[in-house]
Amino acid sequence: MFPSDMPLAPDRGFASDNFAGAHPAVVDAVVAANVGHAPAYGADEWTGRVEAIFRELFGPRSQALLVWNGTGANVTALASLVRPAECVVCTESAHIAVDEAGAPERIVGAKLLTLPTPDGKLVPEQIAEVAHLQGNQHHVQPAVVSITQGTELGTVYSAQEVAAIADTAHRMGMYLHLDGARLANATAALGGTRAALRSFTVDAGVDVISFGGTKVGALAAEAVVYLNQDLAERARFVRKMTTQLPSKMRFVAAQFEALLGDDLWIRLAANANQMAAQLYTAVSDIPGVRLDRGPQINSLYPYLPAEVIEPLSRWSFFWNWDVAQHQVRWMTAWDTTPDDVARFAAGVRHALA
């Protein structure tokens, strides 16, 4: 029986980092950018400054294009790299494969070649195996490898792992795209410095990044960052074709200026990661909670007794992950507090007592 005397639910639940609002500095920056007229479509000074900040992060040959959301960033990135009868190699759990309503297939016009993984991470050997499709005129030709960092399963590639994938991809004539909807969380997990960021992106040989801002404190701000300007040449047109060219771009740029300044985005992600670690500690000894592993970024995927899932999620909402396995997802956000963690863990413990 689910207890009727549940403790107070946390102020901020563990459903999704998309449930969080925006960091005050982001909103302040938008308010501050709302002064008079400014050129549209990216010719404004805010966008100019943010493009320069991205070049500081990723080097002088990089080029960032601002967009609104992750699907838009991914589709813009892929459509600028893929030609007809080519395909994108990714994991079976990749966001582009599972959660973008077919936008890649429709807009990029390409098949996704999905490979199974236990942990959301591709390995070079899997990529090498698709070589047998190269030159086969009946099959789409592998053109891009797309990996997610941190992955949809809460794991993180090391810089060495990304570099090995990039090597394999490049040797096979493919590009490497990195879906960084949670790039901030991965960066925090791998050291939390700009050098760490560079180690698994530009230094590792990544060609283009979907750089996420929304989940880590923006209202709606993502970027497609080309680490090689040559690939960005046609990307401005592709962005518009993807419907992702903001007219009043200064307001997207202002969000990024706030987030990127003083590495706020990394610090916010570090908090989310830390709260996930605390949650893991707080629940891992609760009888009935089974966890395959501790969190590398900001999500846990616990298995719970079947009958407790629905009432517990009514108490403090979270999503199912794998219904058949009674597996759910608990996710922290940039604004999750130790008190939120403590209250949520207390509720879980009480419900399973």
CB 29 within 8 A of CB 47: no
CB of 135 to a second copy, least distance (A): 9
CA distance between the termini of the chain: 10
Residues 6+ apart with CB under 8 A from 13: 19, 316, 317, 318, 340, 344
CB of 141 to a second copy, least distance (A): 5
**Closer residue to a second copy (CB): 12 or 329:** 12
CB of 224 to a second copy, least distance (A): 12
Instruction: State the Rg of the chain over Cα.
Output: 21
The single-letter code of the amino acid at 8 is: L
CB of 36 to a second copy, least distance (A): 6
CB of 138 to a second copy, least distance (A): 4
CB 256 within 8 A of CB 221: yes
Look up residue 4 and give its two tokens.
């009727």
CB of 335 to a second copy, least distance (A): 8
d(CA 168, CA 6): 52
**Closer residue to a second copy (CB): 198 or 248:** 248
Residues found in the chain: 353
**Closer residue to a second copy (CB): 195 or 306:** 306
d(CA 221, CA 84): 29
**Closer residue to a second copy (CB): 102 or 294:** 102
CB 162 within 8 A of CB 178: yes
Map tokens 């396995």 to a residue. 325
**Closer residue to a second copy (CB): 12 or 157:** 12
**Closer residue to a second copy (CB): 86 or 257:** 86
CB-based burial of residue 144 (10 Å sphere; 0-12 exposed, 13-18 middle, 19+ buried)?
buried
Sheet holding 222-226, edge to edge: 63-67, 222-226, 208-212, 175-180, 141-148, 86-91, 111-115
CB of 229 to a second copy, least distance (A): 16
Helix (H) or strand (E) holding 111: strand 111-115
CB of 139 to a second copy, least distance (A): 6
**Closer residue to a second copy (CB): 162 or 331:** 331
**Closer residue to a second copy (CB): 135 or 287:** 135
Phi, psi of 295 (to 5 degrees): -75, 140
